[in-house]
Structure 1
């Protein structure tokens, strides 16, 4: 975790607060890079953070609006994770034009996510930490009638997942690699 020469000269021209911020950022990026191959451990840590946040909300009977906004953010991230990077409806229109012209492209097109797994985990972890920290302050506890928010979240979840599943069926792609064959040495 040594600083390179260019980083050191750049840090010398900054204020002490900026230097500490940049060192903290380098420290954060170093351990973030170290966590890339640790997929199960990363997701277990996120599950633990989510459990702590939900436990805090349930035990205190507060911060329902924070919980709702956090849930909406995670749903949005999950949908980006399930969605292909390139619009399949435009690709299908191009293939139809090729068929009309007499050309057919049987080119293999791998599934590329709009939001890669690591970024999905990273953004979700950051959001969960922010939501957990927000439960430490009373001014972030805005009183709401939580059953309405819960029902509204369930409705949004069902409608968006229904739309996503129809899109997956229409364009025949599977965004998750659960159950796919693994090739290689045993």
Structure 2
């Protein structure tokens, strides 16, 4: 009988290479889509509309849709919320910059747009 240890290693190596190649290509297209926010959002809305029509015509996947809706709502809340709560920071007094090196950032999102998308 032959040992199966060598067979497992020979199967895993091509899968790891394929996964690495796929991750590299996926990151390439993500980087290329970064300067096009309108097209990204339109594509997302089109994909959501297709999913909604599919659920409507198949008349199923309501539980999955409910879970996805809750997840997207959670992301939306993170996208619209500030990174630091202004009410807690107001206790310290004025938060305006005091030095030339301080940067005044009136609103920093908790979840950046690209991660929300």
Structure 2 length-normalised TM: 0.80
Aligned to 1:79: 77
Alignment gaps of 5+ in structure 2: 1-11, 98-103
- Aligned length, in residue pairs: 100
- Give the aligned partner of residue 101 of structure 2: none
Q: Aligned-residue CA RMSD in angstroms?
A: 1.4
Q: Larger relative CO (CA 8 A, sep 6+): 1 or 2?
A: 1
Q: Are 2:115 and 1:119 equivalent residues in the alignment?
A: yes
Shift of 1:105: 4.9
User: Does residue 23 of structure 2 align to residue 33 of structure 1?
Assistant: no
Once residues 58 and 95 of structure 2 are traced to their aligned partners in structure 1, the CA distance between those partners, rounded to angstroms, is 59
Structure 1: 5+ residue stretches without partners: 1-13, 96-103, 122-186
Runs of 4+ in 1 over 4 A off after TM superposition: none
